[in-house]
Amino acid sequence: MADQSDYKLMVIEEAATAPQEFEVAFNSCALNVKSKNYSQAEEICSKAITLLQQSTGPRFKVRELTSFALSNRGVGRLMAKNETAALSDFYEAQQISGNELVSHNLTRAKQDLAL
């Protein structure tokens, strides 16, 4: 987990059992958001989400990781001032997984946007 203006970015630790290609895309997404390369972050996060949709892994884990990737992309989109797309990502992530970090990002975005 990395901090970005109190938004939480999720990363996969090396010990995880995620496929290598997905792990690289997922962590690169968070790194690009943290580095303020928002357009590249959005592209890479979208790639991670696509890889997850094609995954044959355990459904629970795929859903959770998809939720995290959507939340990370949402943070990047929000920082890039694409608020509508960011909120869409946060709400979708929240529907997929009610994870505490995902919920935090949605709540924070609603506060920041005065919703």
The pLDDT mean for the chain works out to 88
Establish how many alpha carbons lie within 13 A of residue 59's alpha carbon, considering only the half-sphere containing its beta carbon: 1
CB within 8 A of 69, min separation 6: which ones? 26, 29, 45, 48, 49, 52
Please give the model's pTM, rounded to 2 decimal places. 0.88
- Hey, what are 48's tokens? 């991670």
Q: Tell me if 8 sits within 8 A of 104, measured CB to CB.
A: yes
pLDDT in tens, 21-30: 778 888 999 9
* pLDDT of 31 above 60: yes
- pLDDT bin (cut points 50, 70, 90) of residue 2 is very low
Q: What is the pLDDT of residues 32-72, one digit of tens each?
A: 999 999 999 999 999 999 988 888 888 888 899 999 999 99
